[in-house]
């Protein structure tokens, strides 16, 4: 007697070339048989008819910021409803392993735009560990929804070794402090962590009172410190996840060189991020060429993370992370007192300087700084909805910056607007998705709750592929697309995931390709479990019929989850990097 039979589906095993009609049998959490001939329906407790559906391995998200949410709401339903069954934590130098609760909160909340007042109490109540062994033990007993894996964050171990004040300064760690960081990294690898995450862009700032508005601790490290840690990663075949300086960008060449495998073992590196930015239309070419050089000439094992979706963010008033990219914008971000912020933007001299910085072309980072591409989505004055700030200004006789500041002063956070950092060049998106030098799986889930993380990124990628196929201009096969979301990641990160073959763990997504419609990009608000607040999400419930984790159906079309999902320890597990060596 099988637990589940999935019949009549188009079956993808996770490899690059498998797409065929097949039937799948599941028992005791594993795939026990895959065959083209039908099973007897009476031989299973439950039968799923997957006619006209794709039966794929569960998708992997290898870049999330669920570190706080998973502690209090381990089902992580917003990802699971989109077919995601395995999720990586600890990205961007921010993990919650070694530092104390307040330090972890201050590292996390401002950078990831999750309110400190909801995160800190959770950590103070539930963070009972202070090392990697305790971290692993907590998740072994936690009622996980999807599987999780984790990096250890460089900012985390730097604060735990040096203290938050020294860690956010230009002081070089003492030899004792450096050895402490090395020991924490070794312990994390011993306990199954993927590797080390780090950060060099100084745009991400600290929360709290002790180091308010200081860049993340990882950004203060010298190459001497990085190399000491990289030596461990290379020796143990662990992974470096990082980000080059978003403004200066030149240090990316340092990471390319650190990754090389000329006469030595390469260091596995996955870096942020390959995007078709409006601010830098040459970036996709640069990232793809650099990836080719790193892997083919320098014999590295190097990947760029890419987002298979338009990078459109939703903003409220003056709450704009991208302001960190230039001097006057950063000045606003550094102010805690809201009244002082609004006072500042109405000073004529400040506006003059702000306009100067916005118009500079050599300091442009992620944001294109074009307020004619800032579109009002909600406002007490409903007549403004659907207009951009330049259009509103033309009707008022003011320029776009003055218009934006005037509206923000009048309506504050009730002024809601959106902008897209990326272009809509389909050919470029197709190249980024298809490249062997890119990793899919950058969703940023759990972060930027009012600005929109991309919880449904796997479906968006499949939509790109299907749309191109329907137009008669395919750029990648369905099997290779599924592989990019599953086994390609699992193999590189050393995870027991990404496949559905006989003997594999039964983590499965059942996709309705007819449901990959334009509604996949529609934005709505939904409750954020555990935090008593709403977040912005994209949902299209026609695209996923079911998500299966550990051989159990946890989600069914229409938002129906198993009653004990996230409450019972029978679903997800902590996944180790199985490629780590001693």
Write the DSSP assignment of 75-104 as a string of letters.
Answer: T-HHHHTTTEEEEEE--TT--SSSS-HHHH
Q: What is the largest CA-CA distance in the chain?
A: 78
Name which of 26-35, 40-49, 257-266, 473-482 the model is least confident about: 257-266
**How many angstroms separate the CA atoms of 480 and 148, rounded?**
24
Q: How far apart, in Å, do the first and last CA atoms of the chain sit?
A: 42
R_g (Cα) of the chain, nearest Å? 24
User: Other CB atoms closer than 10 Å to residue 109's CB: what's the count?
Assistant: 23
pLDDT of 515 higher than 90: yes
With 90 as the cut, is the pLDDT of residue 365 above it?
Answer: no
Q: Evaluate if residue 296 carries a pLDDT over 90.
A: yes
Q: What is the pLDDT of residue 452?
A: 85
Q: Tell me how far apart the alpha carbons of residues 275 and 312 are, in angstroms, rounded to a whole number.
A: 12
DSSP per position, 26-68: EETTEEEEEESSPPPGGGEEEEEE-TT-EEEEPEEESB---TT
When mean pLDDT is compared across 60-74, 154-168, 466-480, 527-541, the lowest value belongs to: 527-541
For the segment 278-283, the average pLDDT, to the nearest whole number, is: 92
Do 209 and 163 form a contact (C-beta atoms < 8 A)? no
Reply yes or no on whether the pLDDT at 247 is more than 80.
no
8 Å CB contact between 241 and 95: no
pLDDT of 538 above 80 = yes
CA distance 377 to 536: 13
pLDDT at residue 250 tops 80:
no
What single-letter DSSP state applies at residue 389?
A: H
Task: Report the SS3 class of residue 473.
Answer: coil
Q: Which residues pair with 306 in a beta bridge?
A: 274
Q: Model confidence over 97-134: pLDDT tens digits?
A: 999 999 999 999 999 999 999 999 999 999 999 999 99
- Predicted local confidence at residue 253, as pLDDT: 86
What are the Cα distances from residue 502, in Å, to 53, 64, 271, 544, 573?
20, 29, 33, 23, 20
The number of residues making up the chain comes to 582
In this prediction the pTM is 0.95
Q: Which pLDDT does position 346 carry in this prediction?
A: 96
Comparing 246-255, 283-292, 356-365, 550-559, which segment has the lowest mean pLDDT? Answer: 246-255
Question: Beta strand 523-528 with 508-511: parallel, antiparallel or unpaired?
Answer: unpaired
- The CATH number assigned to the domain with range 1-58+77-84+447-570 reads 2.30.40.10
| Confidence band for 361, pLDDT divided at 50, 70 and 90 | confident
The pair of three-digit structure tokens given for residue 518, joined into one six-digit string: 């334009």
Q: Which pairing describes strands 54-57 and 508-511: parallel, antiparallel, or unpaired?
A: antiparallel
Q: In which band, very low, low, confident or very high, does the pLDDT at 246 lie, cut at 50, 70 and 90?
A: low
pLDDT value at 363 more than 80: no
Q: In what order do the strands lie in the sheet with 59-61?
A: 59-61, 84-89, 147-150
The rounded distance, in Å, linking the Cα atoms of 367 and 369 is: 5
Domain boundaries, the chain: 1-58+77-84+447-570, 313-420
> Over 90: is that where the pLDDT of 412 sits?
yes
What is the rounded average pLDDT of the residues 330-337? 93
Residue 199 and residue 220 in contact, taking contact as beta carbons nearer than 8 Å: no
Asked if 547 and 568 count as a contact pair (C-beta separation under 8 A), the reply is no
Instruction: List beta partners, residue 313.
Output: 419
Nearest to 495 by CA among 122, 88, 197, 206: 88
How far out from the chain centre does Cα 64 lie? 4
Tell me the three state secondary structure of residue 487: helix
Q: Are strands 239-242 and 195-197 parallel, antiparallel or unpaired?
A: parallel
Question: What's the token pair of residue 250?
Answer: 């030149």
SS3 335: coil
Separation CA 517–CA 543 (nearest Å): 8
Tally Cβ neighbours within 10 Å of residue 372.
14
Tokens representing residue 358 in the block: 């916005």
C-alpha 19/C-alpha 11 separation (Å) is 6
In the prediction, which pLDDT does 453 show? Answer: 84
Short-list 376, 365, 320, 382, CA closest to 345: 320
- Give the mean pLDDT of 450-476: 95
Mean pLDDT confidence for 277-287:
92
Residue recorded with tokens 């995870």: 495
CA–CA gap between residue 222 and residue 483 (Å, rounded): 37
**C-alpha dihedral over 469, 470, 473, 474, to 10 degrees?**
0
pLDDT surpasses 90 at 362: no
User: What mean pLDDT comes out for the span 359-376?
Assistant: 87
Q: How far apart are CA 285 and CA 300, in angstroms?
A: 19
Question: Residue range 551-569: average pLDDT?
Answer: 96
pLDDT in tens, 176-206: 999 999 999 999 999 999 999 999 988 899 9
Over the chain, what is the mean pLDDT?
Answer: 95
Say how far apart CA 462 and CA 543 lie, in whole Å.
10
**From CA 308, how far away is CA 514, in angstroms rounded?**
19
Q: How far is CA 273 from CA 106, 244, 311, 500, in A?
A: 24, 9, 12, 29
Cβ-based neighbours of 195, under 8 Å, separated by 6 or more: 151, 152, 189, 233, 238, 239, 240, 241, 268, 577
Q: How many helices (H) and strands (E) does the chain have?
A: 20, 23
């Amino acid at each position: 007697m099988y637990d589940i039979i999935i019949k009549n589906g188009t079956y993808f095993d996770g490899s690059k070339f498998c797409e065929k009609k097949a039937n799948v049998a599941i028992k005791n959490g594993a795939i026990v048989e895959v065959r083209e001939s039908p099973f007897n329906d009476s031989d299973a407790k439950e039968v799923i008819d997957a006619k006209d559906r794709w039966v794929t391995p569960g998708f992997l998200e290898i870049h999330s910021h669920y570190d706080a949410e998973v502690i209090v709401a381990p089902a992580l339903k917003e990802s699971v409803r989109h077919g995601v069954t395995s999720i990586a934590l600890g990205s961007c130098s921010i993990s919650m392993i070694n530092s104390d609760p307040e330090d972890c909160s201050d590292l996390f909340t401002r950078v990831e735009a999750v309110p400190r007042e909801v995160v800190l109490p959770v950590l103070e109540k539930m963070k009972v560990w202070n090392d990697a062994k305790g971290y692993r033990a907590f998740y072994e007993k936690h009622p996980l929804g999807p599987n999780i894996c984790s990096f250890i964050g460089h900012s985390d171990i730097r604060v735990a070794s040096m203290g938050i004040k020294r860690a956010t300064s230009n002081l070089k760690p003492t030899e004792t402090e450096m050895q402490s960081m090395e020991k924490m990294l070794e312990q994390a690898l011993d306990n199954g962590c993927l590797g080390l995450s780090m950060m060099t862009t100084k745009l991400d700032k600290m929360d709290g009172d002790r180091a308010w508005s200081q860049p993340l601790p990882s950004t203060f490290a010298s190459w001497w410190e990085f190399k000491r840690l990289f030596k461990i990663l290379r020796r143990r075949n662990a992974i470096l996840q990082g980000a080059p300086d978003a403004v200066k960008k030149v240090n990316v060449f340092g990471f390319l060189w650190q990754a090389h495998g000329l006469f030595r073992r390469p260091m596995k590196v996955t870096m942020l991020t390959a995007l078709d930015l409006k601010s830098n239309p040459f970036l996709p070419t640069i990232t793809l060429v650099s990836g080719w050089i790193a892997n083919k000439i320098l014999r590295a094992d190097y990947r760029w993370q890419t987002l298979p979706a338009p990078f459109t963010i939703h903003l409220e008033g003056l709450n704009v992370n991208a302001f960190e990219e230039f001097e006057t914008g950063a000045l606003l971000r550094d102010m805690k007192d809201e009244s002082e912020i609004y006072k500042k933007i109405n000073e004529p001299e400040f506006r003059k300087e702000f306009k100067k910085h916005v118009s500079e072309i050599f300091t442009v980072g992620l944001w294109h700084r074009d307020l004619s591409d800032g579109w009002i989505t909600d406002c007490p004055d409903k007549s403004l909805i659907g207009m951009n700030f330049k259009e509103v200004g033309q009707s008022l006789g003011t320029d776009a910056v003055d218009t934006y500041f005037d509206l923000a002063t009048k309506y504050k956070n009730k002024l809601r607007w959106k902008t897209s950092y990326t272009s809509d060049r389909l050919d470029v998106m197709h190249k980024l998705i298809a490249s062997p030098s890119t990793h899919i799986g950058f969703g940023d889930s759990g972060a930027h709750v009012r600005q929109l993380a991309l919880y449904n990124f796997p479906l968006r990628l499949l939509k790109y592929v299907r749309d191109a196929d329907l137009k008669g201009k395919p750029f990648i096969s369905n099997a290779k697309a599924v592989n990019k979301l599953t086994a390609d990641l699992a193999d590189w990160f050393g995870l027991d995931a990404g496949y559905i073959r006989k003997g594999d763990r039964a983590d499965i997504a059942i996709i309705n390709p007819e449901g990959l419609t334009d509604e996949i990009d529609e934005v709505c608000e939904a409750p954020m479990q555990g935090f008593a607040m709403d977040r912005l999400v994209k949902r299209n419930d026609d695209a996923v019929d079911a998500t299966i984790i550990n051989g159990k159906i946890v989600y069914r079309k229409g938002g129906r989850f198993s009653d004990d999902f996230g409450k019972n320890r029978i679903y997800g597990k902590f996944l180790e990097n199985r490629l780590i060596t001693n």
